[in-house]
Chain A
Amino acid sequence: MFNRGQPVDRRLTPGLDAILLGDGGELDSLGVINLLVALEEAVGEEFGTHVDILTVATGQNGAEVFATTNGLVKYLSSQVG
């Protein structure tokens, strides 16, 4: 869903292994923020609950938690589970 809305040359590799934050990250900081805010909106619509992903991502352990799309998916599952 995120990729569909992105410029064609700035899309994330599909799957769970795409690197989000840190070395080798596929998106620049603007891309990461856009992804996380889009996810917040989608989660709000789908589950009727607000998850503040951006604040967690920019917090102390954010780089570890959201290193890959897999980490992001795990985090979201734990929040809306």
Chain B
Amino acid sequence: MTALHLISDFNATMLARYLESTDEPEAESLSVTEAPFGQLHRVLMAGPSDRMDAAIVWTRPEGALPSFQDVLGLKRVDESQVLADVEAFAGLVLKYAEKVPSVLVVAWSLPPTAPNYGMLDYQPGLGVAQYLARANLHLSECLAKAPSVFVLDPERWIRASMPHAFSTKLWLATKSPFGNGVYKEAARFLRAALNGIAGRSRKLLVLDLDNTLWGGVVGETGWQGVRLGGHDHVGEAFVAFQTHLAALQKRGIQLALLSKNDEAVALEVFEKHPEMVLRREDLAGWRINWGDKASNLTELMAELNLGLHSAVFIDDMPVERARVRDALPQVLVPEWPKDPAQYVDALARLDCFQASSLTSEDRGRARMYASERERKATQSLTGNLEDWLRGLHLVVEVEQLGPSNITRATQLLNKTNQLNLQTRRLSEKGFADWAAEGKRVVLTFRVSDSFGEAGLTGLLSVETQGSVAQIRDFVMSCRVMGRGVENVMFAVAVAHARATGAETLSATYIRTERNNPTLEILHASGFHQEADGLFLWKTSEVYPEPEFIELRRCAAPVA
């Protein structure tokens, strides 16, 4: 159960009700506490009275900023006063955010009936719209310094709820400025955002080909005959859909293919069709054959080292959707429109891809998967595994947790399920605070080889108390599994434990539904299994580092 604090200067009870009530069967339960009405600033100043997992702050500009009342009265207002009010409000939010793991702040908006200067409304120093835009921009700038605070744009919720997004009558009768449609949309978005913060977002979009990525059946017509672009509204719809998919990929969502087709014929479209937006190098992987899609998808996810919970499957054929939905309930299979012109809208409504941060690793992940495909192709040509690993020229760089890597490190901690010792979920601030306390060290591991950079893919935290050091976090991306990186991490952990005076290093495995691979690594690690889930290493003994990996220590604390 996630505890939410809803702070507002208006009656937001309907939002609370939509947040608490959902017809999605697997949705996380939310418990919403509304802050007392009319006490916005006092509540922010005091902080929550009970433990809260997150807070939502949604205010009207005239409720949060005293000078905005004059702006709406069309009085002359000094812009610096409005910006100063924004800073004061942001200061309160930041103070409040120190006591809650995550705070979602909704940007300000105005109803169409708000006073305005007509065609002069965007004039600097005068127009209401101009002041509103400046206030929102300044708010986002002021709050950007806090990684656990997110400023959300309500305009999408408002547009989706037109023409009933605002209701003067509801405002007069209930002090609620928005129609219910806005709260419903907002609740859907906020639930997805909370899932993203908790690391429960989807990471992979798996796509069918014929009549999904292009019109027609490529096996019948060849690449020249598919409907794609070409000043034809159907062909243009598929180009628009692919353009949106490519943009999604830039947000770190990977794309893969699952199609009943001849592989060579289907991939020809990616190579030869001039209007294809997506190309082979944009794909994390594919299964194109005549086999069962559910089995193929299972194989594909294993190849990509991703859990089924990470996947969304899109197919124009209801029977294929039903097959995957029935066989693999963990995979999200949305209903899909028949008309390709509606594909972009359907994609935009999938808000399961929310992420609380975006790193360069996310943006370049497709390239990493392409490198991995090449790497595996080479492996299949090489008989001996160690010879092959030696040929990769693996380099592992170890660096202490710091401002330059905390975002990615926290993301790795929260998103990794399979190779995660204790599956702790912490906000960026929570993680930094934890690392700063006691005798603790948090180390990050960057991996590269002759095929390219895998990026920051390992995380280790060790806590020492007296003669015992304990591994709290042992987190590794599946992308670097099987290359000896885990042994480097153990070697670094043992060396650090010894340097802090500990005689024993322990690792306590906490089982989850998905982290069995971690247990397998522990069994193969050479650590002595003392009890169920408890593994030990005597630090008097040096842990052997794999010879074929070059270890570079970038920060002093590593022993």
Give A residues with C-beta under 8 Å from B.
5-10, 30, 33-34, 37-38, 40-41, 54
Nearest CB in chain B: distance from A9 CB, A = 5
In the complex where A7-B21, A10-B21, A37-B167 touch, is A54 in contact with B173 (Cβ < 8 A)?
A: yes
Does B2 touch A at the CB level, under 8 Å? no
Nearest CB in chain B: distance from A19 CB, A = 20
Give the residues in chain A near B23, CB-CB below 8 Å: 8
Q: Would you call A41 and B164 a contact (CB within 8 A)?
A: yes
Give B residues with C-beta under 8 Å from A.
11, 13-14, 17-18, 20-23, 164, 167, 169-170, 173-174, 180-181, 184
Nearest CB in chain A: distance from B312 CB, A = 24
Bound form: Cα–Cα A33–B14 in Å: 12
Give the residues in chain B near A10, CB-CB below 8 Å: 17, 21
27 A-B pairs with C-beta separation under 8 A: A5-B180, A5-B181, A7-B17, A7-B18, A7-B20, A7-B21, A8-B22, A8-B23, A9-B17, A9-B20, A10-B17, A10-B21, A30-B11, A30-B14, A33-B170, A33-B174, A34-B14, A34-B170, A34-B180, A37-B167, A37-B169, A37-B170, A37-B173, A38-B164, A40-B169, A54-B169, A54-B173
Nearest CB in chain A: distance from B190 CB, A = 14
Nearest CB in chain B: distance from A67 CB, A = 20
Nearest CB in chain A: distance from B455 CB, A = 42
Give the residues in chain B near A5, CB-CB below 8 Å: 180-181, 184
In the complex where A30-B14, A33-B173, A37-B167 touch, is A8 in contact with B184 (Cβ < 8 A)?
A: no
Give the residues in chain B near A40, CB-CB below 8 Å: 169
Bound form: Cα–Cα A54–B172 in Å: 11
Nearest CB in chain A: distance from B77 CB, A = 33
Nearest CB in chain A: distance from B318 CB, A = 23
Give the residues in chain A near B169, CB-CB below 8 Å: 37, 40, 54
Bound form: Cα–Cα A7–B186 in Å: 13
Q: Which of B13, B20, B21, B167 contacts A30 (CB 8 A)?
A: B13
Give the residues in chain B near A38, CB-CB below 8 Å: 164, 180
Q: Which of A9, A33, A41, A54 contacts B21 (CB 8 A)?
A: A9
Residue in A7, A30, A34, A40 whose Cβ sees the most chain B Cβ within 10 Å: A7
Give the residues in chain A near B22, CB-CB below 8 Å: 8
Residue of A nearest to B184 (CB): A5
Nearest CB in chain A: distance from B112 CB, A = 15
Nearest CB in chain B: distance from A18 CB, A = 18
Give the residues in chain A near B17, CB-CB below 8 Å: 7, 9-10
Bound form: Cα–Cα A18–B344 in Å: 40
Residue of B nearest to A45 (CB): B163
Bound form: Cα–Cα A38–B23 in Å: 22
Nearest CB in chain B: distance from A4 CB, A = 10
Give the residues in chain A near B181, CB-CB below 8 Å: 5
Residue of A nearest to B161 (CB): A5
Bound form: Cα–Cα A38–B13 in Å: 17
Give the residues in chain A near B184, CB-CB below 8 Å: 5
Bound form: Cα–Cα A10–B169 in Å: 21
Q: Would you call A30 and B174 a contact (CB within 8 A)?
A: yes
Nearest CB in chain B: distance from A24 CB, A = 21
Bound form: Cα–Cα A34–B176 in Å: 10
Bound form: Cα–Cα A68–B181 in Å: 25
Bound form: Cα–Cα A37–B180 in Å: 10
Nearest CB in chain A: distance from B175 CB, A = 10
Give the residues in chain B near A34, CB-CB below 8 Å: 14, 170, 174, 180
Give the residues in chain B near A41, CB-CB below 8 Å: 164, 167
Bound form: Cα–Cα A38–B176 in Å: 14
Nearest CB in chain A: distance from B183 CB, A = 9
Nearest CB in chain B: distance from A30 CB, A = 6
Residue of A nearest to B24 (CB): A8
Give the 7 A-B CB pairs with smallest separation, nearest first. A7-B21, A7-B17, A9-B21, A8-B23, A8-B21, A33-B173, A37-B169
Give the residues in chain A near B14, CB-CB below 8 Å: 30, 34
Nearest CB in chain A: distance from B519 CB, A = 39
